[in-house]
Amino acid sequence: MDMDKYEIFKKDVNRLINIDLDYYKEKQMKRRISSLLTRNNFKDFDDYFLGLKEDKLLLEQFINYLTINVSEFYRNPSQWTVLENNIIPALIDNNKRGLKIWSSACSTGEEPYSLVMMLSNFFPLKDIKVLATDIDEEAMNKAKVGLYSEKSLANLPKGFKEKYFTRIEGSYKISDEIKKCVEYKKMDLLKDRFPTNIDLITCRNVMIYFTEEAKELLYSKFYNSLNDKGILFVGSTEQIIMPEKHKLKAAKTFFYEKIV
């Protein structure tokens, strides 16, 4: 792919979404974007940019791809509503002994802490345990500190901010009682052994970095990791094309149930 097209692409992207790719390592970024556009069947940067302008999901995928560690509480809030109103109650019905929950690319902790806060609507905190794993130890160290920007809290349901955060200068610190419910462990999704007997796995906004082959491997590992009727919750650009092939079925959009 020639250089000029990438220069133009960078300017166009900056105008469209206000992300300046000049701030990113050029060689790596160019290579990564090239592989992303090829995977999405575009032929070059021009062609891809036209796609980005027209297709919101494609644009979201692109932004996620650029912002590797970025997370927020209750990311894609409507999916968390489905989780709270449909998925969790069904899991509880199926399973009287409490739920085993795993946030599998937890980054800086917003996702596992959101899970704990949501579960606090169903169980006392002392009975809640969420396993949180990531390949990036530095991100998990930030999670353990638990200091967040106001912006990352924007989608939190009413009441949680006051109940579980303390304001420290410009940031918000999550309370120890929430932190205590999360156990962090380093894990590479593509190489390490998975925990078993899990009722709910979240794997969100990480599979976009992976090849088709890697994703196939991951689906089968998740299948083995889940309890019967357990649920895999994926990110908003990560729907599984043929879930039945992996003995999963769509319980709701973005939620896949293990077929018994």
Ligand X SMILES: C[S@@+](CC[C@H](N)C(=O)[O-])C[C@H]1O[C@@H](n2cnc3c(N)ncnc32)[C@H](O)[C@@H]1O
Environment class of residue 197 by beta-carbon count within 10 Å: exposed (0-12), middle (13-18) or buried (19+)? exposed
CB of residue 93 to ligand X, shortest distance in Å = 26
Question: Is the Cβ of residue 107 or residue 120 nearer to ligand X in the bound state?
Answer: 107
Per CB under 6 A, the segment of 9-17, 105-113, 116-124, 150-158 that binds ligand X is 105-113
What count of Cα atoms within 13 Å lies in the side-chain half-sphere of residue 24? Answer: 17
Question: Is the Cβ of residue 107 or residue 225 nearer to ligand X in the bound state?
Answer: 107
Identify the residue among 61, 79, 107, 152 touching ligand X (CB under 6 A): 107
CB of residue 195 to ligand X, shortest distance in Å = 13
117 binds ligand X (CB under 6 A): no
CB of residue 2 to ligand X, shortest distance in Å = 30
Identify the residue among 189, 232, 240, 251 touching ligand X (CB under 6 A): 189
Identify the residue among 44, 136, 177, 216 touching ligand X (CB under 6 A): 136
45-54 and 3-17 helices, crossing angle to 10°: 20
For residue 134, list its beta bridge partners.
186
H-type alpha helices, 2-123: 3-17, 26-39, 45-54, 56-66, 77-82, 88-94, 110-119
CB of residue 229 to ligand X, shortest distance in Å = 23
Binding residues for ligand X restricted to 33-72, rule: CB under 6 A: 68-71
Contacts for 13-20: CB closer than 8 Å, 24+ residues apart: 13/49, 13/52, 16/49, 16/52, 16/53, 16/59, 17/59, 17/63, 19/63, 19/66
CA 102 to chain centre: 12
233 near 130, Cβ under 8 Å? Answer: no
Identify the residue among 111, 199, 238, 257 touching ligand X (CB under 6 A): 111
Question: Is the Cβ of residue 88 or residue 132 nearer to ligand X in the bound state?
Answer: 132
Question: Is the Cβ of residue 111 or residue 199 nearer to ligand X in the bound state?
Answer: 111
Contacting positions for ligand X (CB under 6 A): 68-71, 75, 105, 107, 110-111, 134-136, 139, 188-190, 204-206, 209, 235
